[in-house]
Amino acid sequence: MCVGPSVPTALAQVRLPALGDAAGEEFSVGTERALGLQIMREIRRDPAYLDDPPLLDYVQHIWRPLVASARQRGEITPETAQQLAWEVFLVRDRSVNAFALPGGYVGVHLGLIAITASGDELAAVLAHELSHVTQRHIARSIVNTQRTTLLSLAGMILGVLAASRAGSSDGVQAAVVGSQAAAVQNQLNYSRDMEREADRVGFGVLTDAGYSPAGMAAMFEKLENANRLNDSGAYPYLRSHPLTVERISEARGRMALSSAAPPADPLEHVLMGARSRVLMDISADGLQRQQQRVANALAPGAQPMTPNERLGALYAGALATLLLGDTAAAETAVNRALELLRARTPAVPAAERSLRELQVQVLLQRGDVAGAMKLLDAPALQPASRWTLLLRGQAALALWNQRPEQAAACLAAAAPRPGPSAPGCDDPLSGYKALQASNEAALSWVSLHPNDPLMWSLLAQGEEAMGQRLRAMRAQAESRAALGDINGAVDRLRAAQALARTGGANDFIEASVVDARLRQLEATRREIAAEMRNGR
C-alpha cells in the first residue's frame, strides 16, 4: 500500500538503485510508452473496462492533484511527463484492487472505491500506484524480458490481469508458464523494496497534494484486517502488494510525525461508493439484490444510520431502481436524499451535484425532457462537467425526436438556400436549437479532450441528426480511435472519404480534415505494427 517520508532516516530512506544503463536503455521510456499503448488498446475493448462519467470524473478529481504533486516534487521528470499517459481508468469488478501498468496507466476496480470510506483513503492507494510508475518499478521488474517483442509481452500482461480478475488460480498459472511470463507476473507482484519505496514516495505525493494521511492509516487498517481474516480472493490487491509488519510500522511512524491536512468531508465519496456498489453488477438479479439491501437498511427498525450512510443508501437505491426502469420509485428516493442533504450542515456542493445529475437521469428516463433541460441550467450543475454535457446532449436528441417535423423545418430554413422560416426555431427548448448548442459544446470539448469516445459518439449522433453525414462519420471514426480500435477508425474514415468523392457531402473543409486524419491513423497503424514486431 502507500506511505512515505517525514520519519527517521533509518526508516524513511529505503531507496532502490537508480535504473542505470541496463533497465534504462533496455526498457526505455519510449518502449514503456509503446507497451502501455498496446495494453490499453486491448483493455478498452474488454467489457469490464468502464467509462461511467460521474464515477470517472470523481476518481480523476482525486488523481489529478496527485499527478501535479508528483510533478512538483520531481518524481515525474520532463521526459516521463511528456511521453507517459498519467491516466486512471475504471474496471467493473467487485474485488478490492488497483494496479499500475506500463506507460503511466493505473486501473481501479469498483470494489476498491466501494470499500474505501473517504477520498483520502482512495487517494492513498492511487498515490502508491502512481509511485510505482514514477519510480519505474515496472521497467525494473520486466527488464529481463527484453528479448520478448512488445506484442507478446503485452499479451502476457493482459493474460495475467484477466486471469487474476477472474479469480482463477489455474488461469494465472496458465498465463505464467515459462520464465518470461513469470517475469511479467513478477511485474504485478512488486518486491519488498519496491513496495517500501512506493510507500515512502507515495506518502510524500499524497500529503503534498493536500490529502490527509489519516486516510492512509485507515486504508492500512482495512488491508491488515483483510489480510488476517479474508481468504476468499476478494482482495487481489493483497496478493500483488503484500503487507508486512515492517511496512505497517513505517507507515504508522510517518503518520505520527506528519502535520498534513485534516480529513475532508467524506459525503461525496460515500455517494460514489454507493454508485460503485450498484454498477459492480448491473444484471437484473444484481440490481434487485442491491435494491433489497437498500430497502432493508432503510426499513423501520433497521440498525440506525448516520446521515451520510442514509444518503448513500438513498443514492444506491435510486440508481438501482432507475436502472430497473422504475422511474417513480427512483424519483422518490432522489427527492428524499435531496431533502436530507438540505438539512445537513455544512453544505457539500459536490454531493448536491451528484444527486442533481441523478435527478436529470430520472427526468430523462421519465420523458420529462424540458424538466431535465431546466435542471441542467440550475446553479448546482454549473459550470458544466463532462457528464452534464453528455446529459444535455441526450436531452437535445430527445427534443429533436419529439418534434421531428419542426426540427426538419428549422434545418431547412438554416440551409444555404433557405426555405420558409419555421416558428419556434430560436426557442432554446426546440430540438433544432438545443441540438445545435449541444453539437457546438461537444465539438469544443473534444478539441481539448480528443481521446473521449463518449463525447465523439454523442457528436456523431448529433451531426447525423442534423444531416451532416461527413462530420458524423469522422466523429464515429474518432470515437473508435479513442477506444484503441485503429482499424475501425480507418474503415470509417475511408467510408467518409468515399462519400466526399462521390459528392455525397458538400463540406470541403471537413473532407480535408478526413484526408489528413486518415493519413495520420494509417501511419500510426504502421508504427504500431513495427513496434510490436521489433519490440522497440
Q: What angle do CA 81, 87, 91 make, to 5 degrees?
A: 160
Neighbours of 374 (CB within 10 A): 14
Is the distance from CB of 151 to CB of 529 less than 8 angstroms? no
Q: Note if 339 is an active site residue.
A: no
Burial (CB < 10 A; 0-12, 13-18, 19+), residue 488, is: middle
Exposed e or buried b for every residue in 59-92, given b needs 16+ CB within 10 A? beebbebbbbbbbeeebbeeebeebbbbbbbbbb
C-alpha distance across the termini of the chain, in Å: 32
Give, in degrees to the nearest 5, the angle at Cα 62 between 60 and 65.
100
Contact 255, 217 (CB under 8 A): yes
Q: Residues in the chain, how many?
A: 536
- The one catalytic residue among 32, 52, 121, 129: 129
Q: Which of 75, 93, 199, 357 is catalytic?
A: 199
**In angstroms, what CA-CA distances link 258 with 5, 6, 15, 206?**
9, 6, 20, 11
Catalytic site includes residue 491: no
Grid cell at residue 439: 453539437
Residue whose C-alpha cell is 482499424: 487
Closest CA to 432 of 386, 390, 401, 471: 401
What ranges make up the beta strands (E) of 418-534?
A: none
Backbone φ and ψ for 417, nearest 5 degrees, come out as: -115, 85
The one-character DSSP state at 94 is -
CA distances from 298 to 302, 309, 319, 464 (A): 7, 10, 15, 45
Contact of 98 with 126, CB cutoff 8 Å? yes
Cβ atoms 90, 59 nearer than 8 A: yes
List, by residue number, the catalytic residues.
129, 199
